Amino acid sequence: MDNTVEKQENIRKGWDGISRFFRANSIWMLMYCTGCCAIELPQAMTSRYDMERLGMGPMATPRQADVLLITGYLSLKTLRRIIYAYEQMSTPKYLVAFGPCTLNGGIYYDSHAVINRLDQYLPIDVYIAGCMPKPEAVMNGFNDLIGMIKRKEANGWKKYEQNKDWYRKNQIQALGELRIKDEFHE
Q: Residue 140 in 3-state DSSP?
A: helix
Instruction: For residue 159, give every residue at least 6 positions away whose Cβ sits within 8 Å of its Cβ, in sequence order, or none.
Output: 123
Choose between 8 and 76: whose C-beta lies nearer to another protein: 76
Q: How far is the CB of 105 from another protein (least distance, A)?
A: 7
Choose between 10 and 60: whose C-beta lies nearer to another protein: 60
Q: How far is the CB of 2 from another protein (least distance, A)?
A: 28
Q: How far is the CB of 56 from another protein (least distance, A)?
A: 9
CA 27/CA 59 separation, integer angstroms: 10
Q: How far is the CB of 178 from another protein (least distance, A)?
A: 11
Helices (H), ranges, 26-163: 41-45, 76-88, 99-104, 135-150, 156-162
Choose between 2 and 159: whose C-beta lies nearer to another protein: 159
- Determine what percent of the chain falls in helix, strand and coil, rounding each to the nearest 5: 55, 10, 35
CA 42/CA 55 separation, integer angstroms: 16
For residue 135, the tally of other CB atoms under 10 A from its CB is: 19
Choose between 2 and 122: whose C-beta lies nearer to another protein: 122
Choose between 10 and 76: whose C-beta lies nearer to another protein: 76
For the stretch 27-60, what's the b/e string if a residue is b when 16 or more beta carbons lie within 10 angstroms of its beta carbon? bebbbbebbbbbebbeebbeeebebeebebebbe
Q: How far is the CB of 159 from another protein (least distance, A)?
A: 11
